[in-house]
Amino acid sequence: MNTSVTRLASLGHALQRHRPVVIALQWAVVACYIVLVVVPAFMPMPPAEATITSNLRLFAQFAFWGIWWPFVILSVMLFGRMWCGVLCPEGALTEWASHHGLGRSIPRWIRWSGWPFVAFVCTTIYGQLISVYEYPQATLLILGGSTLVAMAVGFVFGRGKRVWCRYLCPVSGVFGLLAKVAPMHYRTDAEQWVQHTGPRTRVNCAPLLDMRHLSSASDCHACGRCSGHRNAIALSWRSPCQEIVSAPASPAQRYPARLLVFGILGLALGAFQWTVSPIFVSLKQAAAQWLINHEHYALLQDNAPWWLLTHVPEAGDVFNWLDGLAILAYLALTTAVIGGSTWLALMGAARVLGAPRQGWSSLAMALVPLGGTSLFLGLSMLTLTQLRADGVVFSWMGWARALVLCGGLAWSAWLGLRLIGPRKASIARRVGAGLCFAVPLTLVGASWIGVFY
């Protein structure tokens, strides 16, 4: 057997054998998480000379939005959802609450597959309205509130399970998409499972997976608890293209595809870019001028509470009602233009190929690398903004961004060709489908080029 394969399997088995160490690590992360979320929210505004290294409030914002989230996105694309299973504080807390809770059965409404999409959209929009990236009170409200709801769900439903993580977490759907391209995953050898004659031990799979048919990395939290179970489950290498290229078209892909197309490539792109968009500025100025000309001043008032719209007068950062409406309008416009165009292009490609109705969602999965790249670029903008405020500037960043963006575009283009090429359609139809698939690549690429260059 290949040495690298056996070493990777050994790593998975080590997570299973040293479970107490993993639990201790989880609680250490929980402690850091609580300190960084709660304490800065009750600290005064940092003085003008404060830096990331000298002020806990600034450090916490940098830790969450400059380091934590961009590199969590990157880790999921590289290692699968190991972040969820080994390090995520919210997952650890909801599972702990579930161990000590009511243990009720999971109702059908919780199992609705559209919740990750709805939760992602709502938290993304709300975060922009209250400037979650800039102020710890907003961070406490969104992240702390999410954690409390996760613990409540864990307390009521399941017994030692992660019901919140599986069905309701706002980033669970995003992580499930990005994990599809991870080069490592836990895989079950179905033949070995059947042939196993040893003792029948039980494994608590917190995200409620059918371990007998474990093949996708989307829902697996890569916690290692099941590694070696029945001598059939092991951490394994695979091609980063395998899960997307080999997965058959299925109605179950519809909500993940909508999350990718309208959520990640549409809404999230607008959320990252509205602060630097000349379109947003023009839209808001035109609306403000119209209101002034017609003597309608109600929307120009800045009396909204901080938990509804950003209101930090000591920092000179106060949103009026028009600001909030302009943000909503810009996010809706981005979602409609980029997300809607991408959806129509994928529908057109599927129609040209003669694919079934859900064929567009299968083609959409080829855009996962571009979606992950877009998220990483957007979050790293926050990293660089915070570092620049402390006088840290990287002269090579323009080239690095170009390489990352080109890499995401090329990877998605390759996956698109892999999905379109083998179809039983004429060359002309496949060329037409390829041209349709090029639409989202062009739109997203041009959008980031406009921001950076």
Determine which helix (DSSP H) or strand (DSSP E) holds 311, and give its type and residue range.
Answer: strand 311-312
Residue 76 to residue 432: CA distance in whole angstroms: 33
Q: Quick one: pLDDT at residue 436?
A: 96
What is the residue-wise DSSP string for 320-375? -HHHHHHHHHHHHHHIIIIIHHHHHHHHHHHHHHT--TTHHHHHHGGGHHHHHHHH
Q: Which of 127, 155, 179 is the last residue of a domain?
A: 179
- 285-to-33, 161, 274, 280, 289 alpha-carbon distances in Å: 40, 50, 14, 9, 6
Q: Are 300 and 321 in contact (CB under 8 A)?
A: yes
Residue 209 lies in a domain: no
The alpha carbon of residue 269 and the mean position of all alpha carbons in its chain are separated, in whole angstroms, by: 12
Residue 188 lies in a domain: no
11 and 141 both lie in a single domain: yes
Residue with tokens 């806990």: 56
Residue 214 lies in a domain: no
Q: What range defines the domain where residue 328 resides? A: 253-452
Q: CB neighbours of 426 closer than 8 A, spacing ≥ 6?
A: none
Indicate the length of the chain as a whole number. Answer: 453
Start-to-end Cα distance in the chain: 48
Question: What is the full per-residue pLDDT of the chain (453 aa) written as tens digits?
Answer: 456 568 888 989 999 999 999 999 999 999 999 999 999 999 999 998 888 989 999 999 999 898 999 999 999 999 999 999 999 999 999 999 999 999 999 999 999 999 999 999 999 999 999 999 999 999 999 999 999 999 999 999 999 999 999 999 999 999 999 999 999 999 999 888 888 877 777 889 999 999 988 888 999 999 999 998 988 999 999 999 999 998 776 777 889 999 999 999 999 999 999 999 999 999 999 999 999 999 999 999 999 999 999 999 998 999 999 999 999 999 999 999 999 999 999 999 999 998 766 689 999 999 999 999 999 999 999 888 888 888 888 889 889 999 999 999 999 999 999 999 877 778 899 999 999 999 999 999 999 999 988
Can you give the pTM of this predicted structure?
0.94
Q: Which of 179, 212, 243 is the last residue of a domain?
A: 179
Identify the CA nearest to 179 among candidates 423, 404, 371.
Answer: 371
Residue 78 lies in a domain: yes
Residue 234 lies in a domain: no
Instruction: Output the six-digit token pair for 58.
Output: 């600034």
Judged on CB neighbours under 10 Å (0-12, 13-18, 19+), 117 is buried
Beta bridge partners of 318: 311
Residue 205 lies in a domain: no
Q: Quick one: pLDDT at residue 390?
A: 84
Identify the CA nearest to 369 among candidates 182, 186, 219, 217.
Answer: 182
143 and 259 both lie in a single domain: no
Q: Which of 179, 211, 231 is the last residue of a domain?
A: 179
434 and 285 both lie in a single domain: yes
Residue with tokens 């989880």: 26
Residue 201 lies in a domain: no
Q: Quick one: pLDDT at residue 226?
A: 92
Residue with tokens 């599986």: 166
Residue 180 to residue 372: CA distance in whole angstroms: 11
Instruction: Specify the number of domains making up the chain.
Output: 2
154 and 13 both lie in a single domain: yes
Q: Are 405 and 377 in contact (CB under 8 A)?
A: yes
158 and 259 both lie in a single domain: no
- 5-to-19, 94, 231, 236 alpha-carbon distances in Å: 22, 33, 15, 6
Residue 13 lies in a domain: yes
Instruction: Output the six-digit token pair for 47.
Output: 């003085």
Cβ atoms within 10 Å of 266's Cβ, excluding its own = 29
Residue with tokens 């993304």: 124
Q: Name the pairing type of β-strands 184-188 and 317-318.
A: unpaired
Q: Are 168 and 153 in contact (CB under 8 A)?
A: yes
